[in-house]
């Protein structure tokens, strides 16, 4: 296990040797990292996110229901809107930008958006996208950071292990007539892994790997910060 180092970028602690995880993400399609940020930093981002939810204009919401709140923020908003400025240091984080450049083997990459999302139990278990195993046509590398503890029933993101993906995924990805989100069945439960952990835990994943969003089935409210990165569109 790699030893984690941290550096201070204004108020933001993060793993310093992040780029060393690139080979593992390339090999498996996803990676869980404990203590991606410290507990104190997770609390800092939690408080800033809750404040943003209270102050954000309706136009900034990607989703706003009784059970799900999602705000999407681009770099421009992180500069101009006071209650989003805590995210600007992420857009300018050299360790993240170096990681995505190395992962995609390109100098033409970007953090396209950062999503702030709070989810709670709606009283029923559903079997629809994004809660079904699927992979995406449009490829992103995403960093999902848990700002609150996520344990069993709290809606952890779930992945199919690479051993299963290599049997089917490459064939499907070579087809031209793909949907934006492509549902696949994984009947062997030994081939899936749900990412759980304390606040500050993160999952880094390529959306070409089979995955699904987690549904909250407890009374806890899951809070995550997700960083979406990609090769810049032509």
Whether 112 shows a pLDDT value over 60: the answer reads: yes
State the number of CA atoms in the 13 A half-sphere of 219 facing the CB: 0
pLDDT of residue 140: 96
Count of other CB atoms within 10 angstroms of residue 185: 9
Reading the block at residue 30, the tokens are 């996803």
Q: Looking at residues 162-185, what average pLDDT do you find?
A: 67
Predicted model pTM: 0.89
**Mean per-residue pLDDT, 74-89:** 96
Per-residue pLDDT tens for 52-78? Answer: 999 999 999 999 999 999 999 999 999
Report how far residue 25's alpha carbon sits from residue 204's, in angstroms, rounded to the nearest whole number. 7
DSSP line for 200-219: T-EEEEETTS-EEPPPP-SS
Tell how far CA 79 is from the center of its chain. 22
Pull the structure tokens for residue 128.
């629809």
Closest CA to 192 of 161, 151, 163, 156: 161
pLDDT tens profile 201-224: 999 999 888 898 899 999 999 999
How far is CA 209 from each of CA 44, 170, 230, rounded to the nearest angstrom?
31, 10, 15
Domains and CATH numbers, the chain: 6-231 (2.60.120.620)
The mean of the pLDDT values for the chain is 87
Strand partners, 146: 224
Half-sphere exposure (CA, 13 Å, Cβ side) for 17?
8
pLDDT (0 to 100) of residue 8 = 38
Structure token digits, residue 226:
């997700």
pLDDT band at 119 (very low <50, low <70, confident <90, very high): very high
> Given a cut of 60, is residue 225 above it in pLDDT?
yes
* Token digits of residue 175: 């087809």
What is the per-residue pLDDT across 129-142, written as a single tens digit (0 to 9) for each? 788 888 787 889 99
The three-state secondary structure class of 224 is strand
What is the pLDDT, as a whole number, of residue 178? Answer: 63
Closest CA to 141 of 21, 34, 8: 21
Residue 139 CB-half CA count within 13 A: 12
pLDDT band at 5 (very low <50, low <70, confident <90, very high): very low
Output 23 or 170, whichever has higher pLDDT.
Answer: 23
Give residue 182's pLDDT band: very low, low, confident or very high (50, 70, 90): confident
Percent of the residues in the chain that have a pLDDT greater than 70, as a whole number: 85
Residue range 139-160: mean pLDDT, rounded:
96
**How do residues 12-35 score in pLDDT, each as one tens digit?**
556 668 999 999 999 999 999 999
Kindly provide the residue ranges of all beta strands, DSSP E only, lying in 51-180, ordered along the sequence: 61-64, 68-73, 109-119, 134-136, 141-146, 158-160
C-alpha 78/C-alpha 89 separation (Å) is: 9
């Amino acid at each position: 296990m790699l030893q984690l180092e941290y550096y201070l970028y204004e108020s933001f602690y993060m793993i310093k040797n992040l780029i060393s995880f690139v080979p593992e993400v390339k090999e498996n399609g996803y990676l869980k990292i404990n203590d991606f940020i410290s507990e104190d930093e997770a609390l800092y981002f939690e408080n800033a996110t809750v404040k943003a939810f209270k102050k954000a204009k309706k136009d900034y919401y990607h989703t706003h229901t009784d059970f799900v709140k999602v705000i999407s923020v681009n770099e421009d908003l992180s500069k101009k809107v006071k209650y989003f400025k805590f995210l600007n240091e992420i857009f300018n984080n050299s360790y993240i930008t170096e990681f995505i450049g190395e992962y995609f083997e390109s100098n033409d990459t970007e953090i396209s958006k950062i999503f702030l999302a709070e989810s709670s139990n709606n009283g029923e278990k559903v079997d629809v996208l994004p809660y079904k195993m699927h992979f995406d046509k449009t490829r992103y590398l995403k960093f999902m950071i848990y700002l609150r503890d996520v344990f069993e029933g709290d809606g952890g993101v779930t992945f199919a292990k690479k051993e299963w993906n290599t049997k089917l995924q490459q064939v499907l990805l070579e087809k031209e007539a793909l949907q934006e989100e492509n549902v696949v069945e994984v009947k062997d439960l030994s081939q899936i892994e749900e990412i759980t952990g304390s606040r500050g835990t993160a999952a880094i994943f390529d959306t070409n790997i089979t995955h699904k969003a987690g549904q909250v089935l407890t009374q806890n409210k899951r809070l995550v910060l997700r960083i979406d990165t990609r090769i810049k569109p032509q």
